[in-house]
Amino acid sequence: MKRNLPALANESFDVLVIGGGIFGAGVARDAALRGLRVALIEQADFASGTSSRSSKLIHGGLRYLEHAAFRLVAESCRERFRLRQLAPHLVKLQPFIFTFQAGDPRPLWKIRAGLQLYDALAGRHSLGRHRRLTGAELTELEPTLQTTGLRGAVLYYDCREDDARFCIETIRHAADLGAVCANYCELTGLRQQGERTIAAQVRDRLTGTEFEITAQYFVNATGPWLERWAGPDLLSPTKGVHLVVPALTRTHAITFQARRDGRILFVIPWGDCSLVGTTDTDWTGNPADARATPGDVEYLLTEVRRLFSAAETPTTTFAGVRPLLRSTATASARHREHKILRRGENLFSIAGGKYTTFRLVAQQVVDQFTTAPCRTADTPWPRRSTPNVAEACTEEMALTVSDYMRRRTDLALSRQGGVASAERVAHEMAGQLGWTDEHRQSSVTDYLTEWSS
């Protein structure tokens, strides 16, 4: 996968995908599998927005049942099962333990009823039925979990994934199939001819070079940046924050209820760390500016320390903006449904949606402009090993230290994510990309600023 800007400027495409997050990646892969000539551009790095800042789960959406989103949950369970079948090296079974403490806002019977419905909606796509755990079983499985005030625990199943890696693998597969993909290419305008979009005006953010990409169809898959090209008042975005802390559990993820506001929170195993999340608060600014505030950190730490008293100060944090459909509901109650919007004759936009259903959403988008049959429902993802620094630069367009440590690998979300690793990575990348000493240090500084925020 090469950054071939002359091909983007000089060739004509069936479809141009704008946005290199998971929805754009899914559309590019689907369209390429159907034999279409595909281009994809991303204003920053692939997966650098919401698609690397999620809870790292492919899940059915247990908590959506509380808002009667039965169709979405059933759909998500089917897609969860399918993705695990097609990409088992990327989507892995994750056992969860839902714990119940004295004073929790939802009683055990209510959650068990929800889990029974969760199993029923999954049907033949179930990953395993839930069951209640005894106190002895809970202690044996996760001995560091606080048992004071414990009123019960239930085991159930979802899946985990490395969201950024999955997105990169999806784009890379599209490129294998002939798609021309490039990061750090910003859309600056769309050239119209009546009701038809005929070209995208693009600026290479690395050199400042401007050029046009012509295509028959255009797909706006820019997530929380959607409204810039699709029109105003389509989204009600929310910010989700996660903490990265030294590992709290052995192998199980923990689900629990926040005492302060009743939110469903998670502790998810992540290498030598655990992810604690997530918040759900209104967001109105530039999605690129989303960060964990001291209040966000205090809220999550206070809640998780009720279950794990030894939980340490975060190594790092990350925050993403969810591009949820316009709603007057509170942040936590907004659903994760999606809409495919059409502007003029040939510009389509993806509004809303959730990571788990990206394949299905992509299928629905590509169905809008071709009758060729979809192949993503039974086409596996290629198996690849995690790239070293040289491969990430030459085969996956890693152009900064952050690109490699945050999205080509999970180094940034580990206990090895600090200065020493960043310096070592920068040294290797400098040799591949011909950086000056000044450029090398600048890339390290930019990464460390983001990592320690």
We report the CATH number of the domain holding residue 130 as: 3.30.9.10
The answer to whether 213 touches 202, Cβ cutoff 8 Å, is yes
Instruction: Measure the CA–CA gap between 51 and 446, rounded to whole angstroms.
Output: 20
User: What's the pLDDT at 331?
Assistant: 76
User: What's the pLDDT at 450?
Assistant: 85
**92 and 145 co-located in one domain:** yes
User: What's the pLDDT at 147?
Assistant: 86
Position 82 in a domain? no
**224 and 208 co-located in one domain:** yes
**181 and 122 co-located in one domain:** no
User: What's the pLDDT at 196?
Assistant: 97
pTM metric for this prediction? 0.96
Average pLDDT over all residues of the chain: 95
Instruction: Measure the CA–CA gap between 420 and 57, rounded to whole angstroms.
Output: 29
- The torsion angles phi and psi of 434, rounded to 5 degrees, stand at 70, 35
**Mean pLDDT calculated for residue range 151-175:** 97
User: What's the pLDDT at 416?
Assistant: 92
**SS (HEC) of the chain:** CCCCHHHHHHCEEEEEEECCCHHHHHHHHHHHHCCCCEEEECCCCCCCCHHHCCCCEECCCHHHHHHCCHHHHHHHHHHHHHHHHHCCCCEEEEEEEEEEECCCCCCHHHHHHHHHHHHHHHHHHCCCCCEEECHHHHHHHCCCCCCCCEEEEEEEEEEEECHHHHHHHHHHHHHHCCCEEECCEEEEEEEEECCEEEEEEEEECCCCCEEEEEEEEEEECCHHHCHHHHCCCCECCEEEEEEEEECCCCCCEEEEECCCCCCEEEEEEECCEEEEECCCEECCCCHHHCCCCHHHHHHHHHHHCCCCCCCCCCCEEEEEEECCECCCCCHHHCCCCEEEEEECCCEEEEEECCHHHHHHHHHHHHCCCCCCCCCCCCCCCCCCCCCCHHHHHHHHCCCCHHHHHHHHCCHHHCCCCCHHHHHHHHHHHHHHHCCCHHHHHHHHHHHHHHHCC
**253 and 301 co-located in one domain:** yes
pLDDT at 332 over 80: no
User: What's the pLDDT at 453?
Assistant: 61
**146 and 282 co-located in one domain:** yes
Position 354 in a domain? yes
**Mean pLDDT calculated for residue range 332-356:** 92
- Per residue in 255-302, pLDDT (tens digit) is 999 999 999 999 999 999 999 999 999 999 999 999 999 999 999 999
- The torsion angles phi and psi of 123, rounded to 5 degrees, stand at 55, -130
**183 and 251 co-located in one domain:** no
Domain extent for 408 = 389-451
